[in-house]
Amino acid sequence: MEAMGIDIGGSGIKGAPVDLSLGALTGERHRIETPDESTPEAIVHVVKQVIDFHDWHGPVGVTVPSVVIDGIVLTAANIDKRWIGFDAQGALEAELGESVSVLNDADAAGLAEVRYGAARDRSGVCVVLTFGTGIGSAIINDGVLVPNSELGHLEFKGMEAEHYAAGRLVKRDTGDIGWWVERVDEFLQHIDLILSPKTIVFGGGISKRFDDFASQLHTRATVVRAELLNNAGIVGAAMAASEGTHV
């Protein structure tokens, strides 16, 4: 079975159809820059452009970097504040003419990693973290998602954790990330203290360099690199669409 996954991010909106028997994209991952004024209306319009690019007809899953309950967006840390209280599911279904499932972006990545990736067949508590513009999180217990955890917004070192250790803080033009890894290690130890996970799955764009710094992470949990990388949100969104998931 196929479903369409759309992943809304702070810098780009990307989507593709997904073969759910494999967790693999079946078409080109089409990406459009997130509008500078990232209002709900502007982003709904871009999502429609991604759908039209693929000439897609069928269920659609859409991730948002926000707490989402019953299709309603309740927070807006890295997108326009006008998203708060917005009926994303209703607006997208009206615009696309298809059934739509809306969920938190990191939760989508977590679902994908559980079914197809690094969290597959792992028992107990597993925390999936995505280090990018912010720090996204998904908490999984014996394969079951506890939605909308938002661990990146925990108070840590006198600020929100993502302001201390998000992937965006790493300068892309330098190989020196030792200072950042020390911060991440401190944050992971804090997660270790409050949740005692058996596994931490390390995701986000910076995870491409995971082998360079994995030995510098000191937690009781086993820390592994995410396997689906930048496709995790798309795949998780497509899973939610196929199953009619609403959290």
| DSSP annotation string for 172-193 | TT-S--HHHHHHHHHHHHHHHH
Same domain, 148 and 201: yes
Is residue 68 assigned to a domain?
Answer: yes
Q: What is the pLDDT of residues 221-231, one digit of tens each?
A: 999 999 998 89
The per-residue pLDDT for 77 is 80
Is residue 83 assigned to a domain?
Answer: yes
At which of 75, 103, 131 does a domain end? 103
Q: What is the pLDDT of residues 12-59, one digit of tens each?
A: 999 999 999 999 999 999 999 999 899 999 999 999 999 999 999 999
The per-residue pLDDT for 226 is 96
Partners of residue 141 on adjacent β-strands: 125, 144
Q: What is the pTM of this model?
A: 0.92
Same domain, 10 and 76: yes
Same domain, 68 and 30: yes
Of 140, 134, 143, the C-alpha closest to 64 is 134
Contacts 24+ apart (CB under 8 A), 77-84: 77/134, 77/152, 77/153, 77/162, 78/10, 78/133, 78/134, 79/8, 79/10, 79/34, 79/38, 79/43, 80/37, 80/38, 80/39, 80/40, 82/39, 82/40, 83/39, 83/40
Give the three-class secondary structure for 49: helix
The per-residue pLDDT for 246 is 54
Cα dist. 21→1, 24, 73, 112, 210 in Å? 7, 8, 30, 12, 28
Same domain, 122 and 99: no
Same domain, 216 and 146: yes
Mean pLDDT by 10 residues, the chain (247 residues): 93 95 95 93 97 97 96 91 96 97 96 96 96 93 95 96 93 77 97 97 92 95 94 96 73
Q: How many domains does the chain have?
A: 2
The per-residue pLDDT for 11 is 82
Token pair of 129 as six digits: 């973290």
Is residue 32 assigned to a domain?
Answer: yes
- Other Cβ atoms closer than 10 A to 49: 12
The residue range of the domain holding 16 is: 2-103
Same domain, 92 and 144: no
